[in-house]
Amino acid sequence: MNDANSTLSARISRYTRWFACAGLMVMTAIIGWQVFARYVLNASPAWAEQAALLLMIWYVLFAAAAGVREGFHIRIAVFENSLPERAQKPVRIAGHLLVALFGLAMVIWGTELALATWSHDIPTLGLPRGVAYVPIPLAGLLIVAFSIEHVLALRRGLEVSGTWS
C-alpha cells in the first residue's frame, strides 16, 4: 500500500492517541478515588464525577476526530465495495467531503455554543459550562483537516496509513 502520511498529521494523530489514553487512565483514577474517599475517608468529593465526565467528553471527541484519520468509525462498506472500481473513488471522495463539511459545522456552531454558555458555571467545578463545549470546535478542526488529507491522498491514488495500532 502506498503511503501518503503527512508527518504532521501522523504526529497529531499519535498525540491524540496519547491524550485520549491518558484521559481514560485519569478518569479511572478519579472514580477510583471517589470510591476510596467515600468509604475510607468518609468524605465524598463532590467534584469527582463531574470532572470525570468533562474529561471523557474531551478525550472522546479528540479520539473521534483521530478516528476520521484512522478510519475506525463504524460504517457500511458493502455497497461501496460492490461498486465498479472506477466509481469507487468519487464516491469515497464525496463521503470524505461530507464529513469535512460536518467538521466545519462543528467548528462554527460549536464555537457559538461554547461562547453562549461561557458565563454559566458547571456546578461543583466552578468552571464555565462552555469548557464542556470547547472540544467540539477543536475536534471539528481536526476532522476537517483529516478528511481533506484523505481526499488529497485518494486523488493521488494513495491511502492514509494509520498510526494507532
Partner 1 sequence: MELTFLVVFLLVLLVIGVPVAFALGIASLATFVILDIPLVVAFQRMASGMNVFALMAIPFFVFAGDLMHRAGIAERLIRVADAALGRMRGGLGQVDIGASMLFGAVSGSAVASVSGIGSSLIPMMREKGYDADYAVNVSVTSAITGLLIPPSHNMIIYAAAAGVSISLADLFLAGVIPGILTGVLLMVAAWIVAVKRNYPRGAFPGMRAFFVAFAAALPGLVAALIIVLGILSGVFTPTESSAIAVVYTIIVAVLVYRSLDWTQFMQATTAAVRTTAMVMIVIGAAAAFGWLLALLQAPQQLADLLKSITENPLLLLLLINIVLLLLGTFMDMAPLIIITTPIFLPMAQDLGMDPVHFGIMLLLNLGIGLVTPPVGSVLFVGCAVGGVPIERTVRTIWPFYLAMLVALALIIYIPGISLWLPELLN
Contact region with partner 1 (CB under 8 A), list: 4-12, 61-69, 153-161:
61-69
Site string for partner 1, 136-165 (x = CB under 8 A): x---------------------------xx
Contact region with partner 1 (CB under 8 A), list: 5-13, 108-116, 150-158:
108-116
Region of 5 please: left (phi>0), alpha (psi -120 to 50) or beta: beta
Q: Is 78 in the site for partner 1 (CB under 8 A)?
A: yes
Contact region with partner 1 (CB under 8 A), list: 5-13, 103-111, 153-161:
103-111
**Nearest 5°: phi and psi at 3?**
-115, 120
Q: Is 43 in the site for partner 1 (CB under 8 A)?
A: no
* Residue choice 12, 51, 132, 144 for contact with partner 1 (CB under 8 A): 132
Residue 30 identity (one-letter amino acid): I
Closer Cβ to partner 1, 9 or 34, answer by number: 34
Q: Residue 5 corresponds to which cell in the numbers above?
A: 502520511
Residue with cell 471527541: 61
Measured between alpha carbons, how far is 91 from 88 in angstroms, rounded to an integer?
5
Angle 107-113-114 (CA atoms, 0-180°, nearest 5)? 85
